[in-house]
Amino acid sequence: MATGRTHRPATRSRGIPEATVARLPLYLRALTALSERSVPTVSSEELATAAGVNSAKLRKDFSYLGSYGTRGVGYDVEYLVYQISRELGLTQDWPVAIVGIGNLGAALANYGGFASRGFRVAALIDADPAMAGTPVAGIAVQHTDDLDRIISDNGVSIGVITTPPGAAQQVCDRLVAAGVTSILNFAPTVLSVPEGVDVRKVDLSIELQILAFHEQRKAGEDAPVEGEDPEAPPMRATPASRKGPDGDMPAVMPA
């Protein structure tokens, strides 16, 4: 089996938009579930619903892959699984190194879903000398002093950073210097990388803040206005009944 050093996905050279690339894993997840249930074909509408996108966008995305389906039949599930896996580079082995083996790093190391998607946790690295040699998910943790050798020995091209934010940039610099060209960053900080290095950021606190915003909006919509009878039916204002300092206000104000 080839390693992550020998090949890179052809999505850029083929001109597939980044937005489409971001949706390909969603399609693959939905298709894999169908494949596990031995479903032979799927319509664009059914697959779009399972992936959480609209069917027109799905058909446009698949057109970049050269897959148009068959009218009245739909898409061949197994072929699409192969086609998307190939486009994402998942038909080969991608060795991954996780740097920062705290609670989050250890949880990622123990996650069983990586291997089935083409990713192999090849190395666990930490700056704490006391962690060196400690087995996590069956892999001995190694010290950051040996980072260059570890990356080289394992042919790692994808690094995962789960360190505290203050250490993330230094770790990133060392990974890049060692030959890592793709980084998944869980540290709550923005990393600076040279051209040719891809960074994806995962910030759970930002996602929670976005959810909190929506919860607040929903709570505000449900809360009764002060002085208003919560049992009374809602009143509908007409344009003529709503006056502002400059005269009539439209019933619906622009955002």
**Domains defined for the chain, CATH in brackets:** 14-87 (1.10.10.10), 94-204 (3.40.50.720)
Q: Confirm whether residue 98 is marked as ligand binding.
A: no
The mean pLDDT value for 22-34 works out to 94
The percent of the chain in helix, strand and coil, each rounded to the nearest 5, is 45, 15, 40
Consult the annotation and say whether 69 binds a ligand: no
- pLDDT-derived band of residue 106, with 50, 70 and 90 as boundaries? very high
The average confidence (pLDDT) of the chain is 85
Q: Is 110 annotated as a binding residue?
A: no
Answer left, alpha or beta for residue 140, where phi above 0 means left and psi between -120 and 50 means alpha: beta
For the segment 165-224, what is each residue's pLDDT rounded down to a tens digit?
A: 999 999 999 999 999 999 999 999 999 999 999 999 998 888 999 999 999 998 887 666
Q: Is 102 annotated as a binding residue?
A: yes
Q: Is the pLDDT of residue 228 over 70?
A: no
d(CA 64, CA 107): 36
Tokens of 248: 């009539």
pLDDT at 36 over 50: yes
* pLDDT-wise least confident of 46-60, 103-117, 237-251: 237-251
Q: Does 103 appear as a known binding residue?
A: yes
Q: Is 101 annotated as a binding residue?
A: yes
- Answer yes or no: are the C-beta atoms of 123 and 154 closer than 8 Å: yes
Structure confidence by residue, pLDDT tens digits, 8-20: 444 444 588 999 9
CA angle centred on 196, ends 191 and 199, rounded to 5°: 35
Higher pLDDT, 132 or 237: 132
> Among candidates 209, 173, 164, which has minimal Cα distance to 191?
173
d(C-alpha 238, C-alpha 44), whole Å: 43
Its pTM stands at 0.71
- The Cβ of residue 168 has, within 10 Å, a number of other Cβ atoms equal to 22
